[in-house]
Amino acid sequence: MAEKNNTQNKEKIKKKRMIFWGLFILLVCIDIIILTMESSIFSVGVIGIFTFIWILISLNYLTGDPKICEGEVRKAITITFIVVYLAIFSLSTNTNISNSYNGMFQIMIDHFTYLVGIVIAFYFGSTTAEKFRKKN
């Protein structure tokens, strides 16, 4: 009986992971569509908000807990920063847009690189501190 429950739990986890990755691939496709439809700074903001909400809902579904824990929020913030950084970087490669903003994209990429570095450092630092606190 315990073996059957264990097998069922593994199947549920596998199904949830498959749904999560399917949702993630759908998110990437929608982000690309938004970015190509309206190539402006506005589209980057929409991608950021949309990605944060989508990732937070997906991670919450994956854990199966009705409450949102801080680990899910931390992951959603980190993923959102990385996705927005990549969106800004991809917009900066478009010469028509980058020329029309007179070097603003280069300044944005420089400063956003620092922000992404800080967010990633805090993500891994807080995860390590959390594990250390649980050990002691």
User: What is the distance between the alpha carbons of residues 76 and 134, in angstroms, rounded to a whole number?
Assistant: 22
Q: 65 and 59 in contact (C-beta within 8 Å)?
A: no
The pLDDT of residue 3 is above 80: no
> Interhelix angle for 2-37 vs 70-92, to 10°?
30
List all residues 6 or more positions away from 76 whose beta carbon is below 8 Å from its beta carbon. Answer: 52, 55, 56, 59
In this predicted structure, what is the pLDDT of residue 15?
Answer: 79
CA distances from 132 to 8, 15, 127 (A): 32, 31, 9
Tens of pLDDT, residue by residue over 13-33, are 777 778 877 877 887 787 777
Six-digit token string for 62: 């994956």
The pLDDT of residue 42 is above 80: no
DSSP string, 3-55: HHHHHHHHHHHHHHHHHHHHHHHHHHHHHHHHHHHS-SHHHHHHHHHHHHHHH
Tens of pLDDT, residue by residue over 60-116, are 877 777 788 778 888 888 888 988 888 887 777 765 665 666 667 778 788 888 998
